Structure 1
Amino acid sequence: MTLQDFTGETGADAPFAGLPAGTEMSHVQLKVTDAELQDSEPFYTDLLGFDVQGRLGQMFLAVGVHQHRALLVVTNRFSTGPAGPPLGDSAQLIAVDLLVSSADQLQVLAERLAAASWPHTLAGSTLTVSDPSGNVLCFRAETV
């Protein structure tokens, strides 16, 4: 993969059109706005069911492990106050896609969110939910 794969640029004015199909990240760091992770930690652990794999005070929380790496790192380190939406022409994370191993696991997650009255959408094999800071997570059932 080259820098051009990430920028999408073949020329100076070409807009970014996304990463190549099949690109996998080892982990994603999500910026949250709650100063001591008081809303984020229960969302990711109690509601979504991730296990805490690492912690640095009240600034970093690593959840979920796949092949010895945290899937998500939740941090308030770079923004401890309320954040506004990114500017229209700013680089920004639109959503994080996460695979679950079966449609049954997706359904269990949807039921847990519904029982907690947490807003979410289950459409086909994709469950979409936003964390307390507005980060969008899209859970999809793995297909074989």
Structure 2
Amino acid sequence: MTTDGLPQQTRIGRTALRVNDIEEMTGFYRDIVGLDVLHHSDTSSVLGVEDTPLLILAREEDERQRHSSAAGLFHNAFRVPSREALGDALARIREHWELSGASDHDVSEALYLTDPEDNGIEIYRDRPREDWPRNGDGSVRMGTYPLDLEALEGAAAGDAGLPAGTDIGHVHLEVSSLEAFQNFYVDTVGFEVQVDDPGAVFVSAGGYHHHIGANTWNQRSQPVSGRGLSWFEVLLPDTEALDGVQARITDSQYPVIETEDDGIAVTGPDEIEVRFRTET
């Protein structure tokens, strides 16, 4: 299916996780990641920055642990607006948790960790877009190199939480088929491929390095199930863009349902739910 693509202003909105221990997970994302708790109850938490929700936690006590063969979340990627904020995140992780990785990707500097229920997390900051290396066709070229952690922590400003301007820059999925992923997110929804590597593909709107990543590194073969990713959200700048996405998905094999916030939801490949709505 040929599409007109997505508007440049398209970005990732909220993500939602099914969790077992709502108190522990809320405390982790507040104290280690640095999000503000915007709402909390015995069954759910909404966390974000200032008044902007970014992460929804829903307690599912009887939900089994994600099976090793199930598709789902590789990581949620929280994008901070400055190197100082990334240095502060590193300081919190080193003091209270365990860093699982750190990389310089040419386009960004990134820290990696895992939450108490084994959901992957990336906290990163982008380099200026004009400095991103690109291929001859204009697509982004990303590398993976060691990150100088001592220099990064030296840039810390001493803030306890994530600053204004933090958002979810991208979501990285584990999928069973990269072909099915591209058929849906590129050919139907309208994202563009930026990086296509063996075992992974990264897609975006507006020339960003990636809004959604997908990999088959761990050979997932079953649909999403158990604790972990419940859904994630793509934000569109206007109703015209939303109507275009809805029309294209309606013409595909995936049924569309309306959501309470005037958006739509679709269960795509690997039964991963993705929601679309306009900026509010």
Q: Give the TM bin, normalised by the shorter chain.
A: 0.7 to 0.9
Matched, 1:17 2:45: yes
Residue number in structure 2 paired with 1:141: 278
Distance in 2 between residues matched to 1:5 and 1:125, nearest whole Å = 30
Residue number in structure 2 paired with 1:129: 266
Distance in 2 between residues matched to 1:56 and 1:18, nearest whole Å = 35
Bigger share in strand: 2
What's the % identity of the aligned pairs?
A: 19
The alpha carbon displacement at 1:4 in A equals 6.6
Which of structures 1 and 2 has the larger relative contact order (alpha carbons within 8 angstroms, sep 6+)? 2
Residue number in structure 2 paired with 1:81: 221
Larger radius of gyration: 2
**1:109-142: per-residue Cα shift (whole Å, max 9, x none)?**
1111112242111346211112211111111111
67-76 vs 25-34, greater mean Cα deviation: 67-76
Would the aligned equivalents of 1:27 and 1:69 in 2 still touch at CA under 8 Å?
no
What is the count of residue pairs matched by the alignment?
130
Q: TM-score, normalised by structure 1?
A: 0.76
Judged with a 3 Å threshold, the aligned counterparts in structure 2 of structure 1 residues 67 and 48 are, in CA distance, closer, same or farther, namely closer
The alpha carbon displacement at 1:38 in A equals 2.1
**1:60-84: per-residue Cα shift (whole Å, max 9, x none)?**
1111146843110011212332256
Distance in 1 between residues matched to 2:207 and 2:252, nearest whole Å = 30
Residue number in structure 2 paired with 1:109: 245
Bigger share in helix: 2
Residue number in structure 1 paired with 2:202: 62
Distance in 1 between residues matched to 2:34 and 2:229, nearest whole Å = 16
Distance in 2 between residues matched to 1:104 and 1:85, nearest whole Å = 33
Judged with a 3 Å threshold, the aligned counterparts in structure 2 of structure 1 residues 68 and 4 are, in CA distance, closer, same or farther, namely closer
**What amino acid sits opposite 1:69 in the alignment?**
H
Would the aligned equivalents of 1:103 and 1:125 in 2 still touch at CA under 8 Å?
no
**What amino acid sits opposite 2:171 in the alignment?**
V
Distance in 2 between residues matched to 1:111 and 1:131, nearest whole Å = 15
Distance in 1 between residues matched to 2:173 and 2:201, nearest whole Å = 10
**1:16-60: per-residue Cα shift (whole Å, max 9, x none)?**
6242252321111112122xx121111111111110011111x11
Would the aligned equivalents of 1:110 and 1:122 in 2 still touch at CA under 8 Å?
no
Residue number in structure 1 paired with 2:183: 42
Distance in 2 between residues matched to 1:49 and 1:66, nearest whole Å = 11
Provide structure 2 residue ranges, at least 5 long, that are not aligned to the other structure. Answer: 1-29, 55-166
The alpha carbon displacement at 1:105 in A equals 0.9
Provide structure 1 residue ranges, at least 5 long, that are not aligned to the other structure. Answer: 9-13
Q: TM-score, normalised by structure 2?
A: 0.41
Q: Which secondary structure state, in structure 1, belongs to the residue aligned with residue 210 of structure 2?
A: strand
Would the aligned equivalents of 2:263 and 2:275 in 1 still touch at CA under 8 Å?
yes
Which of residues 51, 54, 69 in structure 1 aligns to 2:192?
51
Residue number in structure 2 paired with 1:72: 212
